[in-house]
Structure formats: structure tokens, C-alpha cells
Structure 1
């Protein structure tokens, strides 16, 4: 009989490329993963890992076993979801990924509601950009993620995931206080395309969107500086170093040196929750979606 946790360890090594990376994902030591794999080799009578430079690679036998492990782990998750659905209880553990402004603007209220209504559900939150969280949900390393896309650039959802909209969030533009258009309540985005911009990090969905949007308006983006945290972006804007896009969800205190204006056309992003199809029947998934939507009401 193949041991489920040993299969999970092998599957994680195959997915993340190394024993140490698998250990990080599984929240165990590298020694524990190595021991699981050694036991699995004895259990199967097959060599599963071979040295490859400083790392390891999977043998043909391991590759074959990983294919079966994917199906087995998927069936186990579906069985767990069905059992929870049969009980009708919101219990167990839920791992939730969310982008930065959702962590500030949605997650605290969401966790408060879940803690009050479903005290037997343990929720762990990780702050992640959608480009990071979506693959983790697809792999099974997260149960659910709060993600975003923009009205002019939809976010592709990987096969095997389901999504549901939470709400639409509006974004404004932050301008240096001495900007020629700083005294206007509404600013045409076209009038700003040649300006320097402050963006989030290059590997984020917001940076990709900003570049795409400015190029669609006929300008090659001048991304002067990159800062992942919005408070850092606003400090740079206040210093006169560029403009920034400022979502209303999770909005922080705006420095007095920064002017905020609505844009024309209005910038809107769609905020979604995504989860695996196998987990769709889990009461915890439905409860989390309900709590997220309720927490979003003040932000609309």
C-alpha cells in the first residue's frame, strides 16, 4: 500500500524542482522529505531520485509515480470535500492567498466574520500577487486566492479552477502636489501618458497592466521607479518623482504632498475568488466566499 504523505512529498519535489523547495511548501524539514522519499523507494522497490549536479532529478519510475500521485491527491481532496459537504460543517483548515490591498481592505473583516460564525475553521493568510497565488491554487498549495484583473486586461484562469466575483474596485491616479493637473478632480489618462510613473514590482499584475494601458494609449511607458508597497509609492509620488495608480480598496493615508484625482476613463479592476473544482463542495470555500463578499460591501 502506497503511503499518501510519501506520495505528496514526491509530488512536491516534482512540482518545485528540489527537496528543499518541497520542504518549504510542506512546512517540514528537508531531512523529513528525504526520509519520506527513502521510505517510498523501499516501499516501491524503485530508485526515484538521482543526483544531477548539486540537485536531484526524478527517474523514469518517479515520473510515472508522480502522474498517478496527481490523480490520487486530487481524489483525496475531492473525498475530503464530499465528507465536509456531507457533514455540512465549516471545519478544518483553509489557506487563503490575497494581494496586498485585499489583505488590508478585505481580509481583516473576512477573518473576523469567519471566526465569529465558524470558530472551528482555521484560516491561514498569505500575501501574494495573483501571478503567484493562481499557480499555487492550481497545484493545491493554497485552497483559495483573492485575485484581480482590470477592465481592459482580463486575467486568464487556469483549467481546473473556478472563480466568483467579489466586487469591482475603482482606482484613481496619485499626482505630485506640484503637477500641472494636481488641482483637477478628474484627469484624462491620455494627458498623463508621457509622465514618469511609479509602479509595483516588475513581476506583478499591476505593473503589467500599467505598461499595457499606457501602450494602448500610444505611449511607451516611462516607469521611473518600482516599489511593491503602496505607501512607498506614495512617498515617491510626494517627492515629485512620478505618478502612481491608487486603488480605493485598502487605501492608506495619503501624504499631503500628493493629489488624488479620478481618471477619465475610469479605472476599474475586478476582484475575484478562485479555488479548485475538486474543492468546490467544501462548506469552508462557500463560507469564505460569503465572508469576502460581506467584507467588500463598505469598499464598494
Structure 2
């Protein structure tokens, strides 16, 4: 069976968006054309690839496998295009790196320093974005590289693309509510005052999206612009915090336990743009090295 690259890109986008309509709009296709392409894929596969519902679509097991392998093919194509683009990319055009709040705490700054020192002729622009927005921008060719969050139960497409565990934990002062606990649900956490990031921060939006409209609404005593300040506030006893484990220094002796929610098990991985520019793989290497160095320090 031959696969059309537009069909593969459409199917992966539909799975990411959870909607054929949104996937079609993202790739500037009409809805009838996109629907016909998806049906043709299912016909050739001989099995349903999507489960249709009133609120959108979700992949069947076969559809998940197709989306994953389609991602591999499109990533390889992106590397091929990037290698060729290196000869026509205007000199001085900066690389665009996308990442969420968690990666912007330590991983991205450290990798950026080492990369820019080692590559004086390459410029980099970093932008903080939610993972879903990063995936869309990468697919649209609006960025070269992204550090995004995936469910820890979902294997990265390549082992080398995995950077570090990004699972969410509950943090409080030594002897505080998380002390002696293996895990707390968000409902239990919300019984206490909280501290967190600003309302429009990627981590805040991710929590709200996953908890849903029926989740308890906690009292936030303070909101900060960076995770370091959030951890400092939690350490001082101002309120509990929900943050990625890797931003908490184990030497501080804080009370820490798992957040007992399905979405809390997360992994930071690398994703490349549809048309990555020269220097992307070097920047990816610095991010991987930074993740390894951080892991060795925390153990």
C-alpha cells in the first residue's frame, strides 16, 4: 500500500486535534476533502482508524499505531528537508525553540547557553507555549524544535527523543501536608491554600484542561511568573504547589508526594518542525545533554 504524505500529515493532525474539522482547517483542506482522505486511508487499511463521536474523534489502537508511525515518517522527512534547507536558509535566520513552563525552568536556559557559546553564528528565539500549541506550530512550520509533554505511558517515537520525567508532584514545607504521603488527589490538594503560576501559564492551563469543569476550585494565595518562585512559596508554607518533580531540589528537604491523577505521569520529549533549519540537531543534542546532566545532579 502506498501512503500519501498529505494523508499522513492530515491523519496525525486529526489525532492531535481530536477533530477532523480542526485537522482539515489546520492543513487548509475542505472538510469533505479531509473526510474523503480519512475514509480512503481506512479503506486501504481494511480497519477503522478513528472512533467518531459527537465531541470529535479518537484513534482506535490501529489508528494510534498509524499516527505514531506517520510521525516517524514525517519527522524523517523534516530532517531531510532541513538538511537541504541548510543550503538555502538565509544567513542569520534564527532557530525557533518552543517549550512549556517546566522546560523553561532549567533545561532550556542551560542548553541555550551551551549551544549559543558553541555556535556563535547561529541565533535562537525561544517561546513559551503549551505542548498542544507547540505541536501545531511545529506541524505548520512555524518553529524548528519543541520540548513538549507527552503522557508517560506513550513511548516517544525514538528513545533518543526522550529528555526527562516531567511528572507532577505536590510540594509543601518540611512536615507539611504531603509529608509521609505517597500521593494526593487534586481534591485533597484543593482542601489547602495553593500557590502556582499565572493563570495563562502553560502548566496552569494544562491543569485546568485535564481537571475539567467539575474539579474543586482552590484558593490561590499567590501566583508567580516562574516555577522557582512557586517552589520557594511552597517551601515557606504559603501554600501547597503542584509542579514537575524535576524542578524540586531534593536537597531542600521539602515534603513531596505524587499527584494521584492520570495525567500527572508525564515525560518531556523533543519534537521537530515540518521544515527544521540547520543547527536543529545540534540544539537537540544540547537539550539531551542538559537533561542528562540535570538527572545526574539530582540522583
Show CA shifts across 1:129-166 (max 9, x none): 446545544454432222224548x8xxxxxxxx9433
* Equivalent residue number for residue 276 of structure 1: 273
* Aligned equivalents of 1:116, 1:128: Cα separation in 2: 25
Structure 2 spans left out of the alignment, 5+ residues: 1-79, 155-159
Q: How many residues align?
A: 207
Q: Which residue of 182, 185, 209 corresponds with 1:186?
A: 182
* Equivalent residue number for residue 147 of structure 1: 148
| 2:116 is aligned with 1:121 | no
1:182-221 maps to which residues of 2 (within 5 A)?
Answer: 182-184=178-180, 186-189=182-185, 191-211=188-208, 219-221=215-217
Show CA shifts across 1:191-220 (max 9, x none): 43533333323333322443456569x852
* Aligned equivalents of 2:275, 2:107: Cα separation in 1: 25
* Equivalent residue number for residue 292 of structure 1: 287
SS in 1 for 2:258: strand
Structure with the bigger percentage of strand: 1
* Aligned equivalents of 1:204, 1:131: Cα separation in 2: 13
TM-score by length of 2: 0.52
- Per-residue deviation at 1:285? 1.9
Retained in 2: the 8 A contact 1:102–1:250?
A: no
1:1-300 maps to which residues of 2 (within 5 A)?
Answer: 81-84=83-86, 93-115=94-116, 118-130=119-131, 133-151=134-152, 164-176=161-173, 179=176, 181-184=177-180, 186-189=182-185, 191-211=188-208, 219-225=215-221, 226-238=223-235, 240-251=237-248, 259-263=254-258, 265=260, 267-279=264-276, 282-300=277-295
SS in 1 for 2:94: strand
Structure 1 spans left out of the alignment, 5+ residues: 1-77, 155-162
Show CA shifts across 1:4-59 (max 9, x none): xxxxxxxxxxxxxxxxxxxxxxxxxxxxxxxxxxxxxxxxxxxxxxxxxxxxxxxx
Computing the radius of gyration from Cα coordinates, the structure with the larger value is 1
* Aligned equivalents of 2:122, 2:209: Cα separation in 1: 40
Closer, same or farther in 2 for the Cα pair 1:85/1:110, shift >3 Å?
farther
SS in 1 for 2:180: coil
TM-score by length of 1: 0.52
